[in-house]
Amino acid sequence: MNNLLAPSILSSDFLHLGKALDLLERSEADLIHCDVMDGHFVPNLSFGPPVIRQIRAHASLPLDVHLMLSNPEAVLDQYIDAGAGWLSFQYEAAVHHQRALSYIKSKGVKAGIVLNPSTPVESLRDILPDCDYVLLMSVNPGFGGQTFIPQITEKIKRLSRLRQNMACQDLMIEIDGGVNTDNISELKKYGVNIFVAGSAVFHSKDPEAVIHEMKKKI
């Protein structure tokens, strides 16, 4: 399976979002990571379906939508209709995980579940075959520009082992938070397949060069 780079537009300049999207389109990025925050599940607000619909109309790369909101099961359709190609929700915010994952898949969208740093990967044992991907948060969700929590490397290894033991070879592991050109190679070694990077890309002087360097390393 091909490893993917998913720059997060959360760290882009929202006054010039179109320019950030154009930059990603001409770069080697594989996905556009869209962070949706509700000011309730996380203490920050970002954007929702109307903005995602506009991004979908402007860009051609698939949208990797990460829902950081309470009661995600109630709003899945809004994000599917807005154009998500990949859709993940937080394990901690949902109740009927298996139902939500199979619903997303039934709409032809890749289904993912997200674990906060403190939620053990073992919680996924019974729903792993229902996931197209698992997103491990390597910071506490809510803000870009935080530092990678070192314990998460052990967690990635445990999830890689679980994937192997449960014969879920097609399951992709995504990492989100504090990813940069210094740590990305090591994360690849532990079995990560999708790499989200926000501030490392958009707060650099040359985002396209950073994307190129990251792609070479994954």
Where on the chain is the footprint of ligand DX5 (CB under 6 A)? 8, 10-11, 33, 35, 66, 139, 141-146, 176-179, 196-200
Q: Binding to Zn ion (CB under 5 A): which residues in 10-39?
A: 35
CB 68, CB 42: distance < 8 Å: yes
In the residue annotation, 77 being an active-site residue is answered as: no
Residue span binding Zn ion (CB under 5 A) among the ranges 42-50, 61-69, 77-85, 119-127 = 61-69
Q: Closest CB to ligand DX5 among 62 and 177?
A: 177
Considering the candidates 35, 64, 130, 132, report the single residue annotated as catalytic: 35
Considering the candidates 38, 64, 130, 176, report the single residue annotated as catalytic: 176
> Please, is 46 exposed, middle or buried when counting C-beta atoms within 10 Å of its C-beta (0-12, 13-18, 19+)?
buried
Q: Which of 36, 42, 66, 173 binds Zn ion (CB under 5 A)?
A: 66
User: How distant, in Å, are the alpha carbons of 65, 177, 217 from that of 207?
Assistant: 21, 17, 15
Q: Binding to Zn ion (CB under 5 A): which residues in 178-197?
A: none
Separation CA 180–CA 19 (nearest Å): 22
The residue of the chain with the least Cβ separation from ligand DX5 equals: 198
Separation CA 49–CA 92 (nearest Å): 22
Residue 155 contact, options Zn ion, ligand DX5, none, Cβ 5-8 Å cut-off depending on partner type? none
CA 32, 35, 36, 41 dihedral sign is positive
Residue 163 contact, options Zn ion, ligand DX5, none, Cβ 5-8 Å cut-off depending on partner type? none
Residue 142 contact, options Zn ion, ligand DX5, none, Cβ 5-8 Å cut-off depending on partner type? ligand DX5
If you search the block for the tokens 């090591």, which residue do you land on? 186
Identity of the amino acid at 85: G
Say how many residues make up the chain: 218
Draw the binding track, 145-184, toward Zn ion (x: CB under 5 A; -: no contact): -------------------------------x--------
Residues 6+ positions from 17 with CB-CB distance below 8 Å: 9, 51, 55
Question: In the bound complex, what is the minimum distance in angstroms from residue 11's beta carbon to Zn ion?
Answer: 11
Residue 179 contact, options Zn ion, ligand DX5, none, Cβ 5-8 Å cut-off depending on partner type? ligand DX5
Instruction: From 61, 133, 73, select the one nearest 97 (Cα to Cα).
Output: 73
Question: In the bound complex, what is the minimum distance in angstroms from residue 106's beta carbon to ligand DX5?
Answer: 25
76 phi, psi to nearest 5 deg:
-55, -45
Annotated active-site positions, please?
Answer: 35, 176
